[in-house]
Amino acid sequence: MKRILLSTVTLGLIAGAVSCANLDEKLITGVSSQYYSTPDGLNSAVIASYAQLRGYYGREQLISLQQVGTDTWMAADQSGSNNKDFDSYGGGFNSTVAPLANTWNPAYQAINTLNAAIDRGPAATGISQATKNSLLGEAHFLRALNYFTLVRQFGDVTLNVHEKQGVDASAVRDPAKDVYTLIIADLDTASALLPRTQADFGRATKGAAQTLRSLVYLTRAYLAFSPGKQGDFQKAAADADSVIASGTYSLEPVFADLWCVRRTADPGRTGYCENAGYNGNKKEFIFTVQFGPNGIYDATHVDADNEYNYLHLVYLGQYDNNGLWVGTPRDLNNGRPFRRMMPTPYELSVWNKYKGDPALNDTLDTRFDGTFQTTWIATQNNVKNATTNCPACTSGAVENIGDTAAVYLPFGVTTAFRQSKAYQILTPCPSQQINNPAADFSPAGYCGDRNNANDGYFNWQRYPSMKKFQDNQRANLTAQEGGKVQVIFRLAEVYLIAAEAAVGLGDQAKAAQMINVLHVRAAATNHKADYNVTASQMTLDYVMDERERELAGEFTRWYDITRPGVDYFLNRVKKYNPHGAANVAARHLLRPIPQSQIDGVVVGAKYPQNPGY
Amino acid sequence: MGRRTLLAILTLFAAGTTAGAQSGGTVAGRVSAPDGRPLPGIQITVSAMARGAVTDSAGRFSIANVSPGPHSVQARGIGFTLGTSPVTVASGQTATVTITLTPTALELNPVVVVGYGEQERRTVTGAVSTVTAEKLKDIPTADPMKALQGRVPGVDIIAANNEPGAAMNVRIRGVRSLTASNEPLYVVDGVPIGGGIQDFNPETIETIEVLKDASATAIYGSRGANGVILVTTKKGVADGRLHTSYSVDAYAGTQDPVRLVPLMNLQQYVQYMKDGAAANGQDTSLARIFSAKQQFAIKNNISTDWQKVTLRSGAQRSVQTGLNGSSGDTRFTMNASYFDQVGLIPGQGYNRGAGFASIDHSGDKLRLGLTTNLSRILTNQGEGGAAYGYLFAVTPLGQPINYMNPDSAGLYDPRPDDDPLNLNPLLEAQSVVRQQNVNRAFGAAYAEYEIANGLTYRVNFGPDYTQLTNGCWNGTWTHGNCSNLGAQFGNQGQPPQAGQFNQQDFTYTLDNLLHYNKTVLSQHHFDLTGLYSIQHDRFSKDSLYASNLPYPTQLWYDLGSGTAGNQRSLISEWSLKSYMGRVNYTFADRYTVSITERADGSSRLAPGHKWAYFPSFGASWQIGDEGFMRNFPAISALKLRGSFGSTGNTAIAPYATEGTLSARLYTFGTTRVRGYKPGSIPNPDLGWEKTDQSDLGIEYGLFNNRVSGTVDVYKMKTHDLLLTRLLPATSGFTSTLQNIGSTENKGLELGVTTIPIRNWRGLGWTMDVNWATNKNKITALASGSQSDAANVWFVGHPINLPGDQQRQVFYDFKYVGVWQYADTLEMKKFNAKGSTFKVGDPRVADLNGDYRISADSDRTFVGDTYPGWTASWSNRFTYKGFDLSGLITAKWNYVFIDQTPRSYNGRFNNVADLDYWTPTNPTNKNPAPTTGAVDRLYAATRLYTDGSHWRIRNITAGYTFSPRFANRIGMQSVRLYGTAQDPYIHTDYIGIDPEVRGGVPTVRTLLIGSNFVF
């Protein structure tokens, strides 16, 4: 009995002793914010800010915010309601549409990370001054880049210049003028601190800061609050000249090589973009967003955000299983056609593809074939086009692997020409046939025996595919995860900025000189000498067309046509975008502030919406 | 322990001192119900003796060493009136008594389990509902909480979905927390456990008590706010002699969908697609709309009912065997069970093997006991609800097997209708394996020592170890991926991928309890309890993932053979230290006051803020026992009770008070690099969310307890709400966790039990009715703001839980119909202001009449998912050996989002809701169809649907053979029964079930079973 009593008491005492549980908390998995104070902290914040670029670049919202609804690009059939709203400026285009928050949120989160780096960085110890300078320069560059996106899309926005230390549910909109001032100050700091070259491909450089600054000055020059229009054009030109003169960058000799590796089987480069062996590191690239080592997305090492380059999907028209031609089932090379965006008729008219009569087939500007995939090669043996699908072509002719299966031609052809080919030939349709963008073409998806070269309308399901982002290094044919770099700035654009600034300054000779640099590279081998422009041709419209020839699909277009101001923007959209022409209005020069931002500001004054929304 | 003592564990007089060996007689006997059914677990006491016995499963008991002379034998059982029988004991002889107990509705008399102890129900000041094994047994199911559905007013139990093994969501008195958990705390044999009790075999449970108000729950302090569910497992039956009885229970049955969704046939689908093309001004010829395979189907008139070909018949079966008995001072029970369920979707199933043992030993001063439950649960989740979802997308023009390609004869077609995103539900179900294995060992051990008369010291130790392994395998032709394991969209045509994750969770609770119980001057009874307790939890998890696996047969058991993917691991720990004191004082057996105070110290809170205090006060008055009540003979019992107090909600995740960084990966050229961005805002002020609750209750019995019941009204105010607040992005973060805001809950609960027929020529009838209403609303938000539209939180309106997949409060545009030709003039006014409406488009209300539909001014409250009221009605009839019982539940006045896909956008829809707009059918129900897989603007606003419904939960009919017959075949008792579970749902809704949404169809279970005791 006593033994039991004793053991019970002992048990109780043990229980009591063990019970002195420790209430201290020790974080083992995960990293606390104290890490920013370590020598690696500054670098880790800057790296995270690069990674945060992937929350915006390479993603679907770029389509809505930077490309559709312009003179040159419009929504295709599977564009999704968001892109279609941005394209048509229609009734569904309001503050709740997702791409707005998908742009706004990553930018402000990245800005907070960058503010942490900028606030804490100067006190960082244990790293060399050169490294510290570079990291701080990168932080200022990235902050400027994020604010530049915000100010161009939304106008007056909240300026945060310090890391948020607590919960802040209040916010005010600062004048766009002040945002530009901060951006320029950041870029002044960045260009002073950054080295000309970086050992790590993808880190910002002095040239990147200067390029961005020249574009910022160019943009501000047109704005009402510009401290001096001519002064801004001059500063834009000076930065551009400095980048060109630095010798750090050079134009890739062959335009198509910017995006792809040369395939011997496709000397005309009309087919898909081959990426095997392509790492995206070109002397022409000034700043890029990276999505995978050597341009290959690695699905097995991703963080929780799982952010990849999605853009390979968005420009592709349907070529597989389309009831129109045969022999080309969906494959990795030709890509997964998400049909988000297609060229407007105007886009197809700017190219100078041929010298003289198109029928002579004398290529002048190689950039069309370097930009669009117009030819599909059969990947199946022993297939035939049905007469119902291809009444005019050589009925009953058999296609085998390697044969041409379909070709888009930007001009009409004769029945005799069609009948001489076993493959489908797709040509533009007259505009009146597609008042309703959803309408399909009867009977067979081509427009018959016509010779109306530049009507330019293709069916919005099937159209030439913009191929700069095509990525056949993905894991498989359905994989959405792409690893190709997205180019934000390249040297060719610097020439275009210089040209536009020169037009603004009335220096047309210099503008022509800049454009001709690009023309020499763009011209076919036999036209290197005769594809040039003269000073008298140099207008803003010409530069805009040249921008499209050079930068088509690279997500600059919405900024390009809004930059000169509201009249230019309205005129261009009304004239050239069949979906948006009816609805576009002055308010559309700025996007609505995302509703989540307005709803989230619950302290202080209500967050103001842009007028008209 | 030289002397033999008698057991009195479950009796009221357990605290009594021991009796020495003396020459006496034995009282033995049997207790049965009016229908002759033996009643186990009845407490037997013999007058003037401080000990007794509990009846065994055959209703028998035996008490030795009873002093010779006349005695009165009393039998008490939960749910029965007190039975007494006179007996005269002669020395050395056995006197036999037979007692028949009649069921009572009123449970005022027996003891109930309360937190850290037991108490006579008549003195309990809190709102406590008890459900006994008797009632649980009526519903044969794997999950004890399912058997509790509709049994307790104010307790809402809904399965998360209908897949086998799905968890039950339990809400006691509604929801109060916006972002923290609303699940109650479960305590098994005194051990608070993490999560629910779905791993326990219902057959091993003796009682479940639901603690609803603060007087009852405050002793669980920081974890009591959502109510507490106390589970008491079965103990061995003691009758003072060596004795064992064995039982075998088995049942088996089939499961089929209660309802199916109507799907389009070939003609209807073709017409719908043509209508869509016509509405868009497109060519409506078959050749332009349909793919090659689809045209083939049309030509050959092949129409597939995907629901029929995909679903199979389910099954459920269970077998268990147990023994229980006693030997001297030791009593024991053991149970082994196996439960198996086959799901409706191929690849789905659930099975559980469990072993349960409990042993108790009582000495003079010392009592020891140990309960263990070991279970192993294998859940095959398969493609599950997703596969069911796919069959609404694929067209009736597709075929499971590719009949157009002779090479693939007999193989499932991965793209049955040529649409690359339309999957073959049958192939999906076959190509996905998701398997979860849970091994759980739960123990509850105690040692109790009586230090002095009335003063006892008790140690409880409760370890609970769960080891979980999840395996995931996606075959070549699947759309899904092992999403929690790695990222890779789709897998169509690629080699298999697989992953596995393991997690371990070890929790232990150690309680030191001092209990003192004293009666002073015969009228004043004190009951004091003091507690010092600690709990510690250690959770760890790791996962592996690989793709490009060469051999499909290896599932996730040879991940090294593929391309390595994500590897992750984590650990998380927390501890809780608590002090608690409770004073119960009862005067004259009529007036009781109960005061508790608990202090919880938690590792999860920031230094300096770790401790929180939770007091409560309760009082009760047995008016029924007052002299003046004799003037009201119709009132046979009446008790008034009231309480107020404070409880907390524990659901702050560990480390939530620390600001953390989150990792982001990036690449520089060829190098992968890792950076850290701010992940969460540090918040050292984070504390528990607290609920202040008051409750007023009446417990009554009328007409000799033929009618009895409870009425409870309550009000709760939850403050310092833990809110994951969405922030404006300009704050640098998208959300943060804070203690802000408050909510309020008010409700009324009625429970009535009646005995319309007690015993009329062998017929008995009891009927229970429960009715409850609960209203919640938000009373304050952060910084005094009135609304937070981003989270759908509005002061004065019900609570939206943003963590859930489905919203609870719908703040949206209001659907008013379809734009008709007759409305063209009105429509043009909208279009003049920027809208692009067309005839056939959905029309929403322009609330401010400015002819612009804007999110700022035209959204309104279109309803919420909280029912206006819930009710249940159960009946039980007995006639001789026959019994028949049924349970009906109802839920009224609530709105939910109809998620049965009816998008009418030319893709992913074959649900036959054919009342859509066309020029010849100008309906307002559904808009005109369209093409291009994009819905018409505002089309989703028509999906808010009234969910009012009633359903039959259960019907059981059984027959218990007479004891004489049972004895003849060597049994103590034999019962055969048949049950129909969820046989019927009454609703206007087109989908599966207005209550359990998503996933697979609700099943109707038909089964037959038997219980044998021998």
| C-beta atoms of A298 and B672 within 8 A | yes
Q: What is the pLDDT of residues B608-629, one digit of tens each?
A: 888 999 999 999 998 888 888 8
The percentage of residues in chain A with a pLDDT greater than 90, rounded to a whole number, is 58
Nearest to A583 among B459, B654, B834 (CB): B834
Q: Kindly tell me if the per-residue pLDDT of B403 is higher than 70.
A: no
Q: Kindly tell me if the per-residue pLDDT of B49 is higher than 80.
A: no
Nearest-angstrom CA–CA distance, B592 and B530: 19
Distance between B241 CA and the closest CA of chain A, angstroms: 23
Q: Which of B570, B577, B667 is the best residue to mutate to test the A interface, defined by the most A CB atoms within 10 Å of its own CB?
A: B667
Nearest to A22 among B575, B682, B855 (CB): B575
pLDDT confidence bin for B10, thresholds 50/70/90 = very low
pLDDT confidence bin for B487, thresholds 50/70/90 = very low
| C-beta atoms of B672 and A293 within 8 A | yes
Return the sign of the alpha-carbon dihedral for residues A366, A367, A369, A374.
negative
Nearest to B661 among A4, A33, A475 (CB): A33
- The DSSP symbol for B856 reads T
Provide the H-helix boundaries in B872-998. 963-968
Chain B's closest residue to A584, CA to CA, is B834
Q: Kindly tell me if the per-residue pLDDT of B468 is higher than 50.
A: yes
All residues of chain A having their beta carbon less than 8 Å from the beta carbon of residue B908 are none
Residues 507-566 of chain A with CB under 8 A from chain B are none
| C-beta atoms of A168 and B730 within 8 A | yes
Q: Which residues contact B803 (CB under 8 A, 6 or more apart)?
A: B179, B724
| Cα separation values, B160 from B146, B352, B995, Å | 12, 19, 10
**Residue A372 confidence (pLDDT):** 95
- The answer to whether A138 contacts chain B (CB < 8 Å) is no
**Residue B407 confidence (pLDDT):** 58
Residues 579-608 of chain A with CB under 8 A from chain B are 583, 585, 594-603, 607
Q: What is the pLDDT of residues B453-465, one digit of tens each?
A: 889 999 999 999 9
| C-beta atoms of B494 and A104 within 8 A | no
Q: What is the mean pLDDT of residues A354-377?
A: 89
All residues of chain A having their beta carbon less than 8 Å from the beta carbon of residue B663 are 31, 48, 303
pLDDT confidence bin for B20, thresholds 50/70/90 = very low
Nearest to B575 among A23, A164, A330 (CB): A23
Nearest to B731 among A27, A168, A290 (CB): A168
User: Please, what's the b/e burial string for B99-134 (b: 16 or more CB within 10 A of its CB; e: otherwise)?
Assistant: bbbebbbbbbbbbbbbbbbebbbbbbbbbbbbbbbb
Taking alpha carbons only, the member of B110, B234, B196, B182 closest to residue B716 is B182
Residues 179-238 of chain A with CB under 8 A from chain B are 200-203
Please state the pTM of the whole predicted model. 0.76
Strands B635-649 and A383-384 come out as unpaired
**Residue A7 confidence (pLDDT):** 58
Q: Kindly tell me if the per-residue pLDDT of A433 is higher than 70.
A: no
Distance between B657 CA and the closest CA of chain A, angstroms: 10
| Of the candidate ranges A453-462, A560-569, B111-120, B371-380, the one whose mean pLDDT is the lowest | A453-462
**Residue B484 confidence (pLDDT):** 47
| C-beta atoms of B674 and A44 within 8 A | yes
| C-beta atoms of B931 and A15 within 8 A | no
Q: Which of A11-15, A209-213, B357-361 has the highest mean pLDDT?
A: A209-213
- The answer to whether A433 contacts chain B (CB < 8 Å) is no
**Residue A446 confidence (pLDDT):** 40
CA angle B842, B846, B847 (to 5 degrees): 135
Q: What is the mean pLDDT of residues B187-214?
A: 88
| C-beta atoms of B668 and A480 within 8 A | no
| C-beta atoms of A479 and B488 within 8 A | yes
All residues of chain A having their beta carbon less than 8 Å from the beta carbon of residue B535 are 21
Q: What is the pLDDT of residues B839-857, one digit of tens each?
A: 999 999 999 999 988 887 8
For B552-619, give the DSSP string. GGGTTS-GGGSEEEEEEEEEEEEEEEEEEEEEEEEETTTEEEEEEEEEEEETTSPTT--EEEEEEEEE
**Residue A207 confidence (pLDDT):** 97
- The answer to whether A304 contacts chain B (CB < 8 Å) is yes
| Of the candidate ranges A162-171, A437-446, B209-218, the one whose mean pLDDT is the lowest | A437-446
- The answer to whether A291 contacts chain B (CB < 8 Å) is yes
All residues of chain A having their beta carbon less than 8 Å from the beta carbon of residue B449 are 4-5, 8
User: What ipTM does the predicted assembly reach?
Assistant: 0.90
Q: What is the mean pLDDT of residues B905-919?
A: 88
Residues 480-499 of chain A with CB under 8 A from chain B are 480-481
Nearest to A301 among B604, B665, B729 (CB): B665
Distance between A288 CA and the closest CA of chain B, angstroms: 10
| Cα separation values, B152 from B699, B871, B874, Å | 14, 10, 11
Burial class from Cβ neighbours inside 10 Å (0-12, 13-18, 19+) for residue B289 reads: buried
Chain B's closest residue to A32, CA to CA, is B660
Per the prediction, chain B carries an average pLDDT of 85
Taking alpha carbons only, the member of A63, A52, A43 closest to residue A138 is A43
Q: Which residues contact B622 (CB under 8 A, 6 or more apart)?
A: B122, B589, B590, B591, B638, B639
- The DSSP symbol for B904 reads -
| C-beta atoms of B577 and A23 within 8 A | yes
Distance between A584 CA and the closest CA of chain B, angstroms: 9
Distance between B361 CA and the closest CA of chain A, angstroms: 13
- Name the 3-class secondary structure at B111: strand
**Residue B369 confidence (pLDDT):** 92
Q: What is the pLDDT of residues B755-787, one digit of tens each?
A: 999 888 889 999 999 999 999 999 988 766 788
Distance between B933 CA and the closest CA of chain A, angstroms: 7
| C-beta atoms of B492 and A478 within 8 A | yes
Distance between A100 CA and the closest CA of chain B, angstroms: 12
Phi/psi region, residue B603 (left: phi>0; alpha: psi -120 to 50; beta: rest), is alpha
Residue B406 preceded by cis peptide, ω within 30: no
Residues 387-406 of chain A with CB under 8 A from chain B are 388
- Higher per-residue confidence, A265 vs B407: A265
**Residue B15 confidence (pLDDT):** 34
- Higher per-residue confidence, A142 vs B452: A142
Residue B740: CB atoms within 10 Å:
20
Residue A338: CB atoms within 10 Å:
22
**Residue B665 confidence (pLDDT):** 87
| E strands in B57-184 | 60-66, 69-76, 83-89, 94-100, 111-114, 117-120, 128-132, 155-159, 168-172
**Residue A442 confidence (pLDDT):** 34
Distance between A88 CA and the closest CA of chain B, angstroms: 10
Q: What is the mean pLDDT of residues A359-384?
A: 89
**Residue A456 confidence (pLDDT):** 46
Nearest to B665 among A51, A92, A323 (CB): A51
Q: Kindly tell me if the per-residue pLDDT of A411 is higher than 70.
A: no
Nearest to B603 among A25, A201, A301 (CB): A25
pLDDT confidence bin for B486, thresholds 50/70/90 = very low
**Residue A448 confidence (pLDDT):** 37
| C-beta atoms of A321 and B655 within 8 A | no
Q: What is the pLDDT of residues A525-573, one digit of tens each?
A: 999 999 999 999 999 999 999 999 999 999 999 999 999 999 999 999 9
Distance between A444 CA and the closest CA of chain B, angstroms: 9
Chain B's closest residue to A582, CA to CA, is B834
**Residue B989 confidence (pLDDT):** 87
| Of the candidate ranges A106-110, B49-53, B666-670, the one whose mean pLDDT is the lowest | B49-53
Distance between A223 CA and the closest CA of chain B, angstroms: 25
